[in-house]
Amino acid sequence: MTDDDAVPGLPDAVPGPSDAVPGPSDLRASDADRERVSEVLRDALAEGRLDMVEFEERLDQTYKARTYGELAPITRDLPVAGVVPPPVVSLSKEPSEEGSWTGRIVGGEGTSSWAVAVMSGFQRKGRWTVPRRFTCVAFWGGGEIDLREADFAAGEVEINCVAIMGGVQITVPPGVEVVVRGIGVMGGFDQGDTGVRGDPGAPRVVVTGFAFWGGVGVERKKTRAARRQEKLDRKAEMREARSNFRDEIHGAHQRMLDSHKDLLRGIGHGPQGERQERRERRYEE
């Protein structure tokens, strides 16, 4: 058959079994991969992107999927946190960016430079830019300042708190260095996180101010996404531990059977075994 006789639309040569190399979509998916896809589906249900019927159908497809190629289309039309659509949910475990501060020190003036709560409350949380100096007052009220998802105008920012018969709670992510320099009169500033070294490149938060019959608290807490990932990792570790335990039990059982077979073979070479062999030879003759 010449080149002119080749059938249009078909390759010139078909690779043999030894030449076949599986692509990424042909690789087998793990339980952790299916769990990551199901987490995206749950978020989509909570946000109203999927109704209950669609959610149940896709969740059933997820747990029946055996390869990456079967998993990928399930979330193709759903946004993934931190990824611009249309990419699908990642099926490989990516390194955590919890300790990476590249891009979070953005400069500028900051989203908000002050807050006041008089017999009321205030919040600064989510995606916002912390200015070089932020001042807040809580009088018979309370305030919440959450820096876990915030950007920073500078490598060092100052949060000045005045709490009079009120309180301010400051939440920082792991890796941020905190220095507390506030003064308390019949009140206080939480010093528990002072002295903890920050990650390389992480911002430094200096807490100053005055508390009279009030208090300013500082706590470290991971983001919701980080806690969710830790939960998935723990589940994966538990599944792996159970699988290893089953393998060990199976191996021990197999070794016991092999030992029993060896014992029976050893008995077969004793006097009784020889008499049995002689009887079998006479019977054959």
pLDDT in tens, 227-240: 677 677 777 777 77
- Could you tell me if residue 189 is left (phi over 0), alpha (psi between -120 and 50 degrees) or otherwise beta? beta
pLDDT digits (tens, 9 = 90+) for 191-212: 887 778 888 889 999 999 999 9
The dihedral over CA atoms of 236, 239, 240, 242, expressed in degrees to the nearest 10, equals 160
**pLDDT > 90: what percent of the chain?**
31
Summary mean pLDDT of the chain: 78
CA 39/CA 42 separation, integer angstroms: 5
Tell me, what's the pLDDT at 101? 81
**Which among 51, 40, 43, 169 has a CA at the least distance from the CA of 117?**
169
Tell me, what's the pLDDT at 191? 85
Tally of residues, the chain: 285
Identify the band that residue 4 occupies on the pLDDT scale cut at 50, 70 and 90: very low
Query: Residue 87: pLDDT above 50?
Result: no
**Position with higher pLDDT, 191 vs 25:** 191
Range 45-69 average pLDDT: 85
Range 152-165 average pLDDT: 95
Query: Residue 5: pLDDT above 70?
Result: no
Tell me, what's the pLDDT at 167? 95
The pTM of this model reads 0.49
Identify the band that residue 131 occupies on the pLDDT scale cut at 50, 70 and 90: very high
Query: Residue 92: pLDDT above 50?
Result: no
pLDDT digits (tens, 9 = 90+) for 77-86: 887 654 444 4
**Which among 155, 78, 139, 147 has a CA at the least distance from the CA of 111?**
147
The sign one gets for the Cα dihedral 158, 222, 199, 177 is positive
**Position with higher pLDDT, 254 vs 218:** 218
Identify the band that residue 118 occupies on the pLDDT scale cut at 50, 70 and 90: very high
pLDDT digits (tens, 9 = 90+) for 222-279: 877 666 776 777 777 777 777 777 777 777 777 777 776 666 666 555 555 555 556 6
CA 172/CA 9 separation, integer angstroms: 60
